[in-house]
Amino acid sequence: MQELIKYGKKIVKAGLAHSHFGNVSKRVGDQMLISTTGSMLDELEGQIVTVPVDPASPDELDVIASTEVNVHRVIYKATSALAILHGHSKYAVAMSMLYEPGKEQIVPEDTESIYVLHEIPVVRGGVGSDELARNAATALRDHKGIVVQGHGTFARGATVDEAYVILSSIEHACTVKYLVDNARRRISV
């Protein structure tokens, strides 16, 4: 729980999401700790609940867990992830909206991001929807992080720390790519 509180603060401090825009979870066996709906990522003390991972086992606390609780569940079921961080990182959101239809990935420009992330899938689906859960989980079987179009980044890891690295790497990659694309456009004009 303390890890989630610590990284919630780091996400906001690093500008990877504004306070309300995201959620965090950590898997512990067949249960997961997850932030509550409407909670602020930099004030998660007392705002984390424990619910079952199994999507077929709804729990009363789902009501106050993050709206994305089922997305986290399906990702945990489909992957070996032990932590998931989700933030509405602004450059990742912008890049997911700028990309032309049909091209369902963002390809980083900088060497570090190419090395860590390869390409970043862009998936679709409404907030907390079954469609989003399916698409995110499928993409995360092959990638460490994804961007939901017009919404935000999901990053997975074996630890909360690792998921944080992915979350910040995706935002870094998207920021650099946005700046480079912009600069190229200006030069070509």
Partner 1 sequence: MKAVYGWKNKILRIDLSKGEVDRFAPDASLLRGYIGGRGLGAKIVYDTGRVDALSPANLLVFAAGPLTGTTTPASGRVSLSTKSPLTGTIFDSNCGGSFGPELKKAGYDALIIAGKSQDPVFIEIEDDRVYVKPAEKLWGKNVKETTSLLKDKGSVACIGRAGEKQVLLAAIMSDAVHAFGRGGVGAVMGSKNLKAVVVKGTGHVDISDRAEFLKHKKSIDRLLIASPTISKGLSVFGTPFLMKITSGMKILPVANFQKAEPDIYLNPFFGKNIMEERSPKRRACYSCPIACKREDKEGNELPEYETIGLMSANIQNPDYSAVVEANRLCNDYGLDTISVAGVLGCYAEIRNKGISPAELLRFTRMIGEQEGIGEQLGWGAKLFSASEGCPEKSIQVKGLELPAYDPRGVKGLGFSYATSNRGGCHTRAYLVAPEILRKPKAIDPYTLAGKAGHTKIFQDRFAAVDSLVVCKFVFFGVGEEEYANILSAVTGVDYTSEDLMLVGERIWNVERVYNLREGFSKDDDTLPERFFEKKVNGRVIDREEFLKTRDEYYRMRGWAENGVPTKRTLKRLGVI
In this complex, which beta carbon is closest to partner 1, that of residue 37 or of residue 96?
37
Look up residue 47 and give its two tokens. Answer: 């705002």
60 sits near partner 1 (criterion: CB under 8 A): yes
In this complex, which beta carbon is closest to partner 1, that of residue 38 or of residue 150?
38
Look up residue 102 and give its two tokens. Answer: 């049909």
| Contacts for 30 with CB less than 8 Å, ≥ 6 apart | 52, 53, 54
Hey, is 140 helix, strand or coil?
Answer: helix
Note the helical H segments in the chain. Answer: 2-13, 69-78, 90-98, 111-117, 130-140, 160-188
Rounded least distance, CB 20 to partner 1, Å: 9
Binding segment toward partner 1, per CB under 8 A, in 54-62, 80-88, 101-109, 167-175: 54-62
CA distances from 9 to 3, 16, 32, 164, 174 (A): 10, 10, 19, 11, 22
> In 3D, which of 104, 52, 47 has the Cα closest to residue 74?
52
Residue of the chain from 61, 78, 107, 116 that contacts partner 1 (CB under 8 A): 61
The maximal CA–CA distance of the chain, rounded, in angstroms, is 57
49 sits near partner 1 (criterion: CB under 8 A): yes
In this complex, which beta carbon is closest to partner 1, that of residue 34 or of residue 155?
34
Rounded least distance, CB 134 to partner 1, Å: 18
Residue of the chain from 23, 25, 35, 37 that contacts partner 1 (CB under 8 A): 37
Instruction: For tokens 């999507």, name the residue.
Output: 55
Binding segment toward partner 1, per CB under 8 A, in 33-41, 83-91, 94-102, 150-158: 33-41
64 sits near partner 1 (criterion: CB under 8 A): yes
Binding track over 161-180 against partner 1, x by CB under 8 A: --------------------
39 sits near partner 1 (criterion: CB under 8 A): yes
Question: How many whole angstroms from its chain centre is CA 13?
Answer: 16
36 sits near partner 1 (criterion: CB under 8 A): yes
Q: What does the alpha-carbon distance between residue 67 and residue 16 come to, in Å, rounded to a whole number?
A: 19
Binding site for partner 1 (CB under 8 A): 36-39, 49, 58-64, 67, 128
